């Protein structure tokens, strides 16, 4: 197949590109490098069947893209610390970007996958979260730009699928971590790892009793490949939770990072009122119910958290001082 991976230079996208190439597909990676890195796909550029296109999917798409069998829309900043200074870019990429790609899918009869998020469940009142849950989202809070634009992206995807008879599919991705992340990303995994490898304090925001469930990036990418490989009868017009149901409190997770990194870092607390205002709407519990992915796709994560963390910590150590660690001026 010929597959367009939009956001293909990102953490998840670059692993998806790599797996698609390993399966002998032709891959077109389109990315504007807003939060991704050329270095994440540099190893693929010499491989036959790989093309990189530097473009912003929220603007006009390059006119010379060939017809694709699949379009995977994985482009969007995703760190809560981006929600203030990239709020409008986030809304644009999930709204206009999705619209542009659905138009392209319509033009060539391509299949389309939209990367949504567990954030569509907001601060969930149902636990664990199943795909049938409608969510509990604050549209006007600081997370609203992300949560609501992903919800709109989902609605847009489904509306195009229905009106134009397209094969569209949605994945709701839960907290995913791994190599090829900005060191200064701000999400809890890179944040704790960077502190731990520098023997500096890890800052747990709030009580530390809030939970997250962490999925290693290769497991997640494999899940996306399963979704696009599934027959129409099973996956067309469907939404799948993809994530690891191994649930951790943030406090216990901090201890685990210190242990796996062999660090001397202390763990400190920061009250929510003293932290970035984006944490005021911090979801209290999050854990995917992946029954649907297990039964329909035969997919489940296989990398234990300790193992994935050890890989990720090794990568962060190896890339200290690289472009992944240099925060651009904005
Ligand atoms: P990432 O920041 O590493 O990757 C996103 C990629 O999209 C980057 O390479 C970035 O440069 C690119 N991009 C952003 N705006 C663009 C635009 N307008 N045009 C072209 N490219 C653009 O983030 P990630 O963690 O790999 O996330 C990938 C996708 O998965 C996103 O859609 C995100 O919302 C979703 N997601 C991720 C997680 C997670 O925990 N990592 C959880 C839920 C959902
Ligand atoms: N968090 C933390 N310290 C940090 C960064 C995040 O305690 O340095 C907490 C945050 O309050 C949240 C959890 O870790 O409860 C996960 O946050 P993250 O930003 O990774 O993403 P989210 O799952 O909230 O989108």
- DSSP readout, 172-193? EE--EE-SS--TT--SHHHHHH
The number of beta carbons lying within 10 Å of the beta carbon of residue 85 is 10
Alpha-carbon span 86 to 91, nearest angstrom: 9
Q: Give the range of the structural domain holding residue 231, as residue numbers without chain letter.
A: 2-177+216-245+287-302
Instruction: Please answer whether residues 271 and 279 qualify as being in contact, where contact means their C-beta atoms are separated by less than 8 angstroms.
Output: no
Mean pLDDT of 269-289: 96
- CA pseudo-torsion sign 235, 237, 242, 247: negative
Q: Please check whether residue 252 lies inside any domain of the structure.
A: no
Ligand 1 centroid vs 250 CA: distance in angstroms? 23
Q: Has 279 been annotated as catalytic? A: no
- Cβ neighbourhood burial of 55 (10 Å; 0-12, 13-18, 19+): middle
Ligand 1 centroid vs 329 CA: distance in angstroms? 20
- Report if pTM > 0.85: yes
Residue 236 has what pLDDT? 98
CA distances from residue 241 to 13, 271, 305 in whole angstroms, order as listed: 17, 31, 18
Supply the residue whose CA is at minimum distance from atom 11 of ligand 2.
205
Q: Say whether pLDDT at 189 is over 70.
A: yes
CA distances from residue 63 to 1, 53, 59, 67, 76 in whole angstroms, order as listed: 20, 12, 12, 11, 22
- List pLDDT tens digits, range 141-170: 999 999 999 999 999 999 999 999 999 999
Of the ligands numbered here, which is closest to the C-alpha atom of 118? 1
Q: Please check whether residue 92 lies inside any domain of the structure.
A: yes
Mean pLDDT of 11-29: 98
CATH number of the domain enclosing 68: 3.40.50.720
Mean pLDDT of 10-25: 98
Q: Please check whether residue 200 lies inside any domain of the structure.
A: no
- Find out whether the beta carbon of 205 lies less than 6 Å from any atom of ligand 2: yes
Q: How many domains is the chain built from?
A: 1
Q: Please check whether residue 309 lies inside any domain of the structure.
A: no
Alpha-carbon span 322 to 37, nearest angstrom: 11
Q: Please check whether residue 23 lies inside any domain of the structure.
A: yes
Instruction: Please answer whether residues 2 and 24 qualify as being in contact, where contact means their C-beta atoms are separated by less than 8 angstroms.
Output: no
Supply the residue whose CA is at minimum distance from atom 13 of ligand 1.
75
For the CA of 204, the closest atom of ligand 2 is 7
The number of beta carbons lying within 10 Å of the beta carbon of residue 260 is 18
Q: Please check whether residue 316 lies inside any domain of the structure.
A: no
Residue 310 has what pLDDT? 98
- Whole-number average pLDDT of the chain: 97
Supply the residue whose CA is at minimum distance from atom 1 of ligand 2.
188
Residue 330 has what pLDDT? 62
Supply the residue whose CA is at minimum distance from atom 17 of ligand 1.
56
Q: Please check whether residue 107 lies inside any domain of the structure.
A: yes
- Find out whether the beta carbon of 93 lies less than 6 Å from any atom of ligand 1: yes
Q: Say whether pLDDT at 177 is over 70.
A: yes
- Find out whether the beta carbon of 79 lies less than 6 Å from any atom of ligand 1: no
- List pLDDT tens digits, range 118-142: 999 999 999 999 999 999 999 999 9
Q: Please check whether residue 35 lies inside any domain of the structure.
A: yes
Instruction: Please answer whether residues 81 and 185 qualify as being in contact, where contact means their C-beta atoms are separated by less than 8 angstroms.
Output: yes
């Amino acid at each position: 197949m010929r597959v367009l991976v939009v956001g293909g230079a990102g953490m998840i996208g670059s692993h998806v590109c790599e797996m698609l190439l390993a399966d002998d597909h032709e891959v077109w990676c389109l990315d504007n490098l807003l939060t991704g890195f050329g270095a994440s796909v540099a190893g693929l550029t010499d491989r036959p069947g790989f093309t990189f296109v530097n473009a912003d999917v929220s603007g006009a798409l390059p006119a010379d893209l060939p017809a694709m069998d699949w379009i995977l829309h994985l482009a969007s900043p995703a760190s809560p610390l981006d929600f203030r200074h990239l709020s409008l870019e986030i809304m644009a990429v999930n709204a206009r970007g999705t619209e542009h790609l659905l138009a392209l899918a319509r033009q060539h009869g391509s299949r389309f996958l939209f990367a949504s998020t567990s954030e569509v469940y907001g601060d969930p009142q149902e636990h664990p979260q199943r795909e049938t849950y409608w969510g509990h989202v604050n549209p006007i809070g600081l997370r609203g730009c992300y949560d609501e634009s992903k919800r709109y992206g989902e609605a847009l995807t489904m509306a195009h699928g229905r009106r134009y008879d397209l094969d569209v599919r949605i994945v709701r991705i839960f907290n995913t971590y791994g190599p090829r992340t900005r060191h200064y990303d701000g999400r809890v995994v890179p944040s704790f790892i960077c502190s731990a490898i520098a023997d500096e304090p890890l800052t747990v925001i709030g009580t530390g009793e809030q939970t997250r469930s962490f999925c290693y990036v290769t497991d997640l990418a494999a899940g996306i490949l399963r979704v696009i490989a599934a027959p129409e009868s099973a996956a067309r017009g469907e939404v799948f939770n993809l994530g690891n149901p191994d649930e951790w409190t943030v406090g216990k997770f901090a201890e685990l990072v210190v242990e796996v990194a062999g660090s001397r870092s202390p763990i400190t607390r920061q009250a929510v009122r003293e932290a970035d205002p984006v944490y005021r709407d911090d979801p209290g519990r999050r854990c995917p119910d992946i029954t649907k992915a297990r039964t329909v796709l035969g997919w489940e994560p296989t990398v234990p958290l300790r193992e994935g963390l050890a890989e990720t910590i090794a990568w962060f150590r190896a890339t200290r001082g690289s472009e992944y660690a240099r925060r651009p001026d904005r």
